[in-house]
Amino acid sequence: MVELLEGSSSASRGGRTVRELLEIPNDGGFTVFALLLTDGYTQDRLVADELRKRYELEYDLIAGPGKHTLTGAIIMLSNYQGLMGISNVRYLLSLSPKLSFIDGLGSSLLAIAVSGPLQNASSDQRRADIIRLLLRHYPEYKRLSEHGPGKLGAVHTAAYYGNTTALRIFNGHVQAMQPLRKLPYNEVQEGQTMLDGLVRSFANLLRIQKPGGNLYQSPESSDQEVTDSYYLHSDLDMNRNQIAHWYKILREDGALHKSELGGTMRWGRMLPVKLMPKSELLEFMERATTNFGLDPWKFDEEPVLLQSDGSDDTDEERAAFSANFQQKPWLATHTEIYTAFELRWIQNYFCLSGRELHFSGLRLLKEQKKYILKHTEWNGLYEIRGGEFPFESTEYEIVLSKHQERVSWTRPGRRWTRVEEETLRQSVGDEWLRIFGERWDAWESLVRRYNVPILCSPRRPPQ
């Protein structure tokens, strides 16, 4: 057919070159080159390669707008249907220039390789072979979490689907390539850490055991019908045990749920940014961290916006706000800026923390109280053995997905007694008051005197 095209006139080809004709996709978005790989055999790949070289055909094409690249599509076919082995992926990866790592949907090749529910041992092995092959061509650490908008990176995708084989390969890869680094388990992607994904995968495995199929929710929140036949050869009990095992491994390595990343505030103060400038606070935290032998201090560079919609206000509060608004309408859009200083317990250590807080001028006092209450409460995701607060113990236990699957783990640090923690709080508070106490007392006196929010941030022109 190619020889026939080459021997025909330009007019009979509609003015198109042979290359242009070969690049025309079918209804599914696949060109001749792509179909020779997805639908053909080994000899067809040889033909595809000859055509690619002769006509400089595109080999990393997007199969239609917003779809997988050809390599991503082949990986999908291998994962879900086992229709092809690793040879075509190996062939495409051998070409130069290098394949795009992110496809038209925003998924990375590694994430595609680990996604989807596990089916059987053969499927698991195919995925493992492809993952190792991809890691040889894309060995950089950043590839494990790289992703496009609205998608998860490879390690988060593996956690979400409970692909413990992939987690084991990724962990071994990091240890071999960069021994001082760990999996990016505390990176938040699409509102979840790796631990959050593992818990979801555990819940999904419990749901799929119900007779007659069920809804399996993907990371993109589109429901897909998953019947028991998909898992006919999969040992679900073993999968659950492996997920629980990896939850324990990641926990003991320092992994957290998203809700735990900020830790728990044990002592803190906030002042208008003019009274506690960031530069002064950073200098103080550096000195205090050294003096008290704490872990490195943290400062959240992204301001925390706290804007209540007023839905939880009482009638009396709404009336007061309405009166204030009528007298000072600019209050509705005014933002009051504070700097916060806090002593926090985060997973395994105490550290000093700072951040910039933006409050609504209309509900300043109410929002401040809500912030303090939220950040001083222990959210109790797990049980603490031998203590009321996490720092009082090193032994913890969690029940996954509200079922009787208990996972226990031990954190590496030491126990802190309540007396030690109270002494640290007192010492940190005294040191802070030594530097900022005079300003704090003056500000508190002013607030008590007028018993109303004191606004000192500059008014901004209306947008």
Task: Collapse the DSSP code of 217 into the 3-class scheme (helix H, G, I; strand E, B; otherwise coil) and give the result.
Answer: strand
Numbers of helices and strands, H then E, in the chain: 16, 9
> What are 10-55's pLDDT values in tens digits?
888 888 899 999 999 888 888 999 999 988 888 899 999 999 999 9
> What are 248-270's pLDDT values in tens digits?
999 999 999 998 888 899 999 99
**Residue length of the chain:** 463
What CA–CA distances, in Å, run from 265 to 92, 224, 356, 411?
52, 41, 15, 19
Strands 406-410 and 395-399 come out as antiparallel
CA separation for the pair 263, 162 (Å, rounded):
26
Residue 456 contacts by C-beta under 8 Å, 6 or more apart in sequence?
272, 274, 336
Q: What was the pLDDT predicted at 136?
A: 96
- In the chain, domain spans: 2-184, 262-450
Q: What was the pLDDT predicted at 366?
A: 80
> What are 429-444's pLDDT values in tens digits?
999 999 999 999 999 8
Helix 121-137, helix 164-177: angle, nearest 10: 30
CA separation for the pair 239, 162 (Å, rounded):
8
Q: What was the pLDDT predicted at 323?
A: 55
Q: In what order do the strands lie in the sheet with 406-410?
A: 383-384, 395-399, 406-410
Q: What was the pLDDT predicted at 235?
A: 61
CATH topology of domain 2-184: 1.25.40
Strands 349-360 and 223-226 come out as unpaired
CA separation for the pair 157, 192 (Å, rounded):
11
The number of beta carbons lying within 10 Å of the beta carbon of residue 170 is: 23
Instruction: Read off the tokens for 146.
Output: 């790289």
CA separation for the pair 166, 110 (Å, rounded):
10
Residues of the chain below pLDDT 50:
209-233, 461-463
Q: Which residue in this structure is represented by tokens 């492809």?
A: 130
Query: CB of 375 within 8 A of CB of 262?
Result: yes
Cis peptide before 277 (omega within 30 of 0): no
Query: CB of 379 within 8 A of CB of 334?
Result: no
Q: What was the pLDDT predicted at 309?
A: 55
Task: Collapse the DSSP code of 121 into the 3-class scheme (helix H, G, I; strand E, B; otherwise coil) and give the result.
Answer: helix
Q: Which residue in this structure is represented by tokens 């606070």?
A: 281
The number of beta carbons lying within 10 Å of the beta carbon of residue 36 is: 21
Residues pairing with 306 in the sheet: 359
